[in-house]
Structure 1
Amino acid sequence: MNDRPSGARLPASPRPRGDARVSIRDVAALAGVSIGTVSNTINRPERVRRLTREAVERAIAELGFVPNQQARVLTGASSQVIGLVVLDILSPFFMEVASAVERAANEAGHMMILCDSENSIAKQAGLLQMLAAQRVRGVLVTPASADVRIAREAPASERPQIVFLDFKDSAQHCSVSVNHVAGARRAVAHLLGLGHERVAFVGGSRVLHQFDQRLRGAVEAVVAAGLDPATALVEEPVSSIGIRDGMLAAERLLARGVPSAIFCGNDMLAFGVYRGLAAAGVRVPEDVALVGYDDITFAADWIVPLTSVRQPVDELGYRAAHLLFDHSSGDPGHVHQQVVLQPELVVRASSDPSAR
């Protein structure tokens, strides 16, 4: 264990504060200790006596020294960087998730790298390889497909520690997901309970595998109500998940005869559907009841406050980050967990005029 005499004064700073060329050797010289002591203070502080550690920390602060993350990992210390790979960084839902993950990372003294797979399996594979090359501690992934072989079968050098976010795999992996089947079932049961006999679902598993689960929940609600899904449920697929896609879906539904109720795979699609209906003079909720999914921050402040299935977004991101810390800790006693969170239906004026 390294130490230095208590109360010893630090020598003059060998280089100006914040100089990009400041090295660990400069820190050691200023603190009056060995390079190994500085390294231990950064990577294994429990091995260094308090007074020595405080002297090194003062030197680091005075010089503005920033440890080299990759060099730090090569010493055997755990990385302080995690990755987050989402499907669409323009989505308010994923931005809220990222905010929760970053908060958890900051509390743990870590940093987060946010990556956008653009819902592409090929780009997702490249991002995981890149993050592995950066020696991150681990990665939270919302997979671009239900086919997650990249996370199971990639060589160890290309496969960082992974926790799935908003996706439940098998007991072989940690995951935090939401019961989308239950969420959609509640949404459609709500519409049927208001007397609607035909419901359109705007979504499609070709875009998001979560939409497939939401469609399954919609079918279950229709069957539970004693109706035939072939006639009571209209599927309207989309090519993406934004407002423009919702507007185009509304145009197609209007051309064929729009049902009296529409359930959308996410809130952005619902906003687009609303605009498409409004442009055609169709009123929400007087002519068509409208329900979204996610309950993003401004759903309650939409032109007509939007009924939506609220995902526990903050809990989703926060718990996933902590599960990743546990999974990547190297603890041989770690047990993989598959956490499933429950959504809730928030009824507003877009589906039920009485909710005004």
Structure 2
Amino acid sequence: MTAGNATVRDVAARAKVSLGTVSNVLNRPEAVSPGTLQRVHEAIDALGFVPNDAARRLRTGRSRSVGLVVLDVGNPFFTDLARGAEAAVEAAGGTILLGDSDHRPEREARYLDLFEEQRVRGVLVSPVDGVSHLDELSARGTPTVLVDRAADPARFCSTSVDDVAGGRLAAGHLLEQGYRRLAFVGGPLRLRQMADRLRGAREAVAAAGGALEVVELAEPTAPHGRVAGADLAARPVAHRPEAVLAGNDLIAAGVLQALMLDGVRVPEDVGVVGYDDTAPAQTAVVPLSSVRRPSELLGRTAVELLLEEAAGGEHRHRRVVFEPELVVRGSSVRG
């Protein structure tokens, strides 16, 4: 017998267990005791056994893979979210198939079609626009969970963060520091997360009697943030906002860079707050205050909801909403 040609029967014989036990290890590891699980995996490693996923799909109707579609894999927030999802899927004996929609509905649709063709165990998706197409996917039998987007629990499970509260936290902090003329720099506002952050900022500013300008971006990226920051820096001081609340950390990093290149001091002349508390916030030349969201926990929890639904039996959709946390650093604190 050569490496890679071993069969399930060979694994069962070496591990001294039944064929059914090997099947459970491959398909339902949670149903196997730790000792038996270890013994079967040792036999698999020793024999060089390679499970045939195509055959598994024919037997069970599904693969062990989970599809994940995020808005921008270049954003560290989604990288961390994917890492959390991958860890949870791996612990359940599966793998993650990752797709980057790049904020384009047609690209999101292509990934969802591909995952459905692969008969994945289920799909996690941070949708670009609406969710009616996801209703259709779910109705065809693919368990679907929205991640980083709240959903009606009558339709889907979802994990999200209260971004309205996050917007209030960020704007409230800037107002407490004495900034009165604020600008929200973010977008596109068709993204629910961005619209919610703006809504929260508006609520805080209205309650304090301040002013809020909205600078909508076509894409939530550092280059777009730099362009917006350069435009703000070029204004006369009297017409320049005193502080910027950015839609995410990438935008904030771009704004910060443009302001400093133009000689605008941060936070003395203009305060800046980001959103997500990712690596760009923590490593910026002037460390960025930011609204922290539990990215890895969002991913892990979404997988738990998905696996629960995919297991069959009685299942009730749940909406899990996490609270954001403001992390204050040097970019927004006036001496």
Tell me the TM-score normalised to structure 2 length: 0.88
Q: Which residue of 2 aligns with 1:236?
A: 215
Q: 1:59 offset after TM fit, Å?
A: 5.1
* RCO comparison, higher one (Cα < 8 Å, 6+): 2
State the Cα distance separating 1:331 from its structure 2 match: 2.1
**Are 1:69 and 2:53 counterparts?**
yes
- State the alpha-carbon separation in 1 of the partners of residues 305 and 34 from structure 2: 31
Letter in 1 for 2:324: P
What is the Cα deviation at residue 50 of structure 1? 12
**1:52/1:151 Cα in 2 relative to 1: closer, same or farther (>3 Å)?**
closer
- Provide the rounded CA distance (Å) in 2 between the counterparts of 1:341 and 1:52: 37
1:106 aligns to what? Answer: 90
Task: State the secondary structure of the residue aligned to 1:152.
Answer: helix
**Residues 74-101 of structure 1: per-residue CA shift (max 9 Å, x gap):** 2127632111110111111100111111
Deviates more, 1:133-142 or 1:25-34: 25-34
Compare 240-249 and 53-62 and name the one that shifted more. Answer: 53-62
Q: Does 1:220 align with 2:203?
A: yes
Residue ranges of structure 1 left out of the alignment (5+ in a row): 1-13
Q: CA deviation at 1:180?
A: 0.3
Are 1:315 and 2:286 matched, yes or no?
no
What residue is the counterpart of 1:303 in the other structure?
285
User: Matches of 2:35 and 2:202 in 1, distance apart?
Assistant: 66
The one of 110, 119, 134 aligned to 2:103 = 119
- 8 Å CA contact 1:207, 1:240 repeated in 2: no
Report the alpha carbon displacement of residue 142 of structure 1 after superposing the two structures with TM.
0.5
For these two proteins, the number of residue pairs brought into alignment is 331
SS at match of 1:248: helix
Change (3 A) 1:50 1:251: closer
Residue number in structure 1 paired with 2:185: 202
1:311-346 deviation digits (Å, cap 9, x = unpaired) = 1222211111111111211122x1110011100111
Shift of 1:60: 3.4
Please, which of 220, 233, 240 is the counterpart of residue 254 of structure 1?
233
Looking at structure 2, the residues matched to 224 and 53 of structure 1 have their Cα atoms a distance apart, in angstroms, of 58
Matched, 1:275 2:257: yes
Distance 1:34-1:287 versus aligned 2 partners, 3 A rule: closer
Q: What does 1:1-356 align with in structure 2 at a 5 Å threshold?
A: 14-15=1-2, 17=3, 19=4, 22=6, 24=8, 42-43=26-27, 60-76=44-60, 79-145=63-129, 147-154=130-137, 156-157=139-140, 160-171=142-153, 172-206=155-189, 208-227=191-210, 232-256=211-235, 257-332=239-314, 334-354=315-335
Q: Which runs of 5+ in 2 are unaligned?
A: none
Deviation at 1:302, TM superposition (A): 1.6
8 Å contact 2:29–2:93 — kept in the other structure? no
Query: Do the aligned residues in 2 keep the contact of 1:246 with 1:272 (CA within 8 Å)?
Result: yes
How far the C-alpha of 1:105 sits from its partner, in A, is 1.5
> Could you tell me whether the CA contact under 8 Å between 2:21 and 2:32 is conserved in 1?
yes
User: In 2, distance between residues paired with 1:44 and 1:301?
Assistant: 42
Question: In structure 2, what residue type is equivalent to 1:96?
Answer: D
